[in-house]
Each structure stands twice: as structure tokens, then as C-alpha cells.
């Protein structure tokens, strides 16, 4: 942090609320950066107080991804918008087979936001970044007038180093591939909705928000020939499978009976009228690997707490191209379509 002159003490920003001037580029913006963001995000990049961060990298393949976060409420069981914003971009990089290296953070704040809330969220971002081994190196803050935003919106972008020669992408998916889900589904969406609707279940259902790079790296290091990875966020398992089936021009068949969903989440979904296959997750992914690597992939994933219920749920078929077929619990088959309409707005 810069040294402040004792003759001109700046007031602490905690306990105040965000004003339009905090986004104006003048003294209050400067104060927010110096007093709140820099102490939390301090790193070689941010310390330069420059328009961007400069990073030395070796030659190689970089992954680059971005996501904005507009979740409501900002705080929920298991996390807040800050964790989510860091884990989400870290996971997008991991899905490219990339180790997360550095992140940017863009805040759009609503006038009147308690600065304490912003501090809590920013501190969570720092912890999540540390946990993922990534640094928050550059950022930006804008403020919009009351009623033109909703507390805090966050965008993160991230750069990762691809740590494999594999081409991990939908077009690498091949007929016969095993489809593996990394853990039980639906916890994030149910955690958000239960707070939003003021529902209380016997067990507090916590968001599954978590970084996934360590588990992906374990697969790469073990020599698993990963064809494609996709984290299961908005639209849930069903939408992700459909996106990949369409992009890869393959069919996917999955078996409902083996898809892991915990009893509390299943119960909550029944009460809320939700299908867990469409509910958002923030710490779950699917992996497409050759059939021969399927069992070992499951075994490796289960070594990580976040993936302890990893399961092989289906396989890739040559046809019908672009469709996902679900074998239901009672043995029938039906097309599992992409999410249609809006099940849970602003889940992430």
C-alpha cells in the first residue's frame, strides 16, 4: 500500500456505503483501490498501479476465459458471489486443461451498497484465488445509480497455462467414450433457491462452489486421454450434455439411476418442482474419456473430496447425432432436451 500522509488521514471505507463518486475515477475511486482492493489483492501485478498487469510467461498454449456473476442473494450457504466469481473462471480454465495463473476482477456496484459487504466479497475472492493457486492481478470498479444495478455484479477473466498436448474440446469426443460426472448434482441451485424463497430444509444444503483444477490435473498427470471437459453451471447436466452432443455431432446416452444426487437435494428438488439434471452446479464437471480410461478416471476423481461421488453415467454413441437419450429409473428411454425457458434466474 502507498503511504498516506499523517497530516491528511483518509477515513476508513468500512461502514460507509458506496457512492457514485467511488466509480468516478477521482479521490474516492483511488481510496477504494488503496484502502480496500490493494491490501486484499496485493500482488506484483496490482502493486504497479498501472492500467494493466504485465506477466512473464513461457511459450505455450494459454487458455483465456471470462464470466460475469449476477447471483442473488449475494451471500448463500456455502459461499458468496466472490467465491463463485473466482471459482467459476478458474473452472472454465481447468475445463481447457489449463492451470489458472492470473485473474482480473471487474466490479459493477450499486450506489448505496454497504462497503463492508464489498470487503467481505473481495476477501472471499482472495481466499478462493489462493486456494486455486491464481493471483488477482488487475481490476476495475464502476458504480451505477441506485436502482440501476443490484448490489454487486462481478466479472472475472482468467489466463491459464494449458498443461497438456491433448485437444480437450467437444470435437475430440468420439463414439464409445465414457461419460463421467465428477460428483452429486444440484446443490448450488438448491442452496440459492432455498435462501431466495426463505425455505428451510432439515439439512442446510450448501453450494458446491469449488475449484476443480487439482482434480483435472490429476487426470492429466495420470495420462488419462481426456477428450472433453465441461463444468455444469447454468442449465445443469442436461444442457451441457446437449451442447457437447450438438457440437461434436454425436449421441450421448446416460442412465438416470446412477446419476449422483444426494437425498436432501433430491427431496428439495421434489418440493421445489425442479429436475436436478437441469439445476446449476458450481463445482461439478463432466469428462469424456475413452472407454478404457473410464474406471480409472472415476477412481482418480474420487480421491478428491470435491469429486468423492464421481460416477460413470453413460457413453457416447454414433447416433442419433446431437441428441441426449436418458434411460429412466423405470427403464424407458426419452430424449433429454436442453433447458427450455428459465428455471432459476440469476443462479450465478
Sites for a second copy among residues 43-72 (CB under 8 A): 45, 48-70
HSE of 331 in the Cβ direction (CA atoms, 13 Å)? 0
CB 232 within 8 A of CB 284: yes
Query: Measured from the CB atom, is 102 or 122 closer to a second copy?
Result: 102
| Min CB(202)–a second copy separation in Å | 29
Cβ atoms 114, 75 nearer than 8 A: no
* Contact positions with a second copy (CB under 8 A) in 8-47: 19-21, 23-30, 45
DSSP assignment letter at 263? H
Q: Which is nearer to a second copy, 217 or 296 (CB)?
A: 217
Site string for a second copy, 295-324 (x = CB under 8 A): ------------------------------
Choose the binding region for a second copy from 227-235, 258-266, 267-275, 294-302 (rule: CB under 8 A).
227-235
Q: Reduced to 3 states, what is the DSSP secondary structure of residue 81?
A: helix
Write 331-336 long-range contacts (CB < 8 A, 24+): 336/238, 336/241, 336/242, 336/254, 336/277
**Which helix (H) or strand (E) is 244 found in, with range?**
helix 236-248
Site string for a second copy, 181-210 (x = CB under 8 A): ------------------------------
**By CB under 8 A, is residue 80 in contact with a second copy?**
no
**Judged by CB under 8 A, does residue 147 bind a second copy?**
yes
Q: Does 1 bind a second copy (CB under 8 A)?
A: no
Footprint on residues 101-140 left by a second copy (CB under 8 A): 102, 104-108, 137-140
Question: Which residues from 159-178 bind a second copy, rule CB under 8 A?
Answer: 159-160, 162, 169-171
Query: Could you say whether residue 259 binds a second copy (CB under 8 A)?
Result: no
110 contact partners, CB below 8 Å, separation of at least 6: 18, 143, 144, 145, 146, 147, 148, 149, 150, 151, 152
Cell 475515477 -> residue: 25
Q: Cβ 205 to a second copy, closest distance in Å?
A: 20
Spatial separation of the C-alpha atoms in residues 345 and 207, rounded to whole Å: 16
Amino acid at each position: 500500500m502507498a503511504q498516506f500522509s499523517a497530516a491528511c488521514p483518509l477515513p476508513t471505507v468500512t461502514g460507509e456505503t458506496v457512492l457514485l463518486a467511488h466509480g468516478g475515477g477521482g479521490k474516492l475511486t483511488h481510496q477504494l483501490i488503496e484502502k480496500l482492493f490493494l491490501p486484499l489483492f496485493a500482488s506484483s501485478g496490482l502493486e504497479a498501479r498501472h492500467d494493466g498487469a504485465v506477466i512473464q510467461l513461457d511459450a505455450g498454449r494459454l487458455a483465456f476465459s471470462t464470466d460475469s456473476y449476477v447471483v442473488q442473494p449475494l451471500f448463500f450457504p456455502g459461499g458468496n458471489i466472490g467465491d463463485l466469481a473466482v471459482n467459476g473462471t478458474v473452472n472454465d480454465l481447468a475445463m481447457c486443461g489449463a492451470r489458472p495463473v492470473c485473474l482480473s476482477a471487474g466490479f459493477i456496484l450499486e450506489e448505496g451498497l454497504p462497503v463492508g459487504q464489498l470487503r467481505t466479497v473481495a476477501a472471499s475472492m482472495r481466499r478462493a484465488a489462493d486456494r486455486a493457486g491464481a493471483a488477482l492481478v488487475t481490476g476495475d470498479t464502476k458504480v451505477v445509480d441506485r436502482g440501476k444495478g443490484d448490489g454487486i455484479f462481478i466479472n472475472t477473466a482468467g489466463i491459464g497455462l494449458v498443461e497438456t498436448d491433448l485437444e480437450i474440446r467437444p470435437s475430440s469426443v468420439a463414439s464409445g467414450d465414457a461419460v463421467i460426472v465428477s460428483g452429486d448434482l444440484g446443490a448450488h441451485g438448491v442452496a440459492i433457491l432455498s435462501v431466495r424463497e426463505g425455505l428451510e430444509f432439515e439439512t442446510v444444503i450448501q453450494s458446491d462452489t469449488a475449484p476443480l483444477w487439482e482434480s483435472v490435473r490429476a487426470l492429466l498427470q495420470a495420462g488419462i486421454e481426456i477428450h472433453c471437459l465441461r463444468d455444469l453451471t447454468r442449465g445443469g447436466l442436461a444442457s451441457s450434455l446437449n451442447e457437447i452432443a450438438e457440437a461434436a455431432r454425436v449421441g450421448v446416452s446416460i442412465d438416470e439411476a446412477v446419476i449422483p444426487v444426494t437425498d436432501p437435494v433430491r427431496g428439495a428438488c421434489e418440493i421445489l418442482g425442479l429436475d436436478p439434471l437441469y439445476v446449476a452446479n458450481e463445482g461439478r464437471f463432466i469428462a469424456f474419456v475413452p472407454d478404457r480410461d473410464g474406471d480409472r478416471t472415476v477412481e482418480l476423481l474420487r480421491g478428491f473430496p470435491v469429486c468423492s461421488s464421481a460416477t460413470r453415467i453413460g457413453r457416447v454413441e454414433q447416433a442419433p447425432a446431437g441428441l441426449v437419450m436418458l434411460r429412466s429409473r423405470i427403464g424407458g428411454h426419452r430424449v433429454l432436451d436442453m433447458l427450455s425457458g428459465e428455471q432459476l434466474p440469476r443462479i450465478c
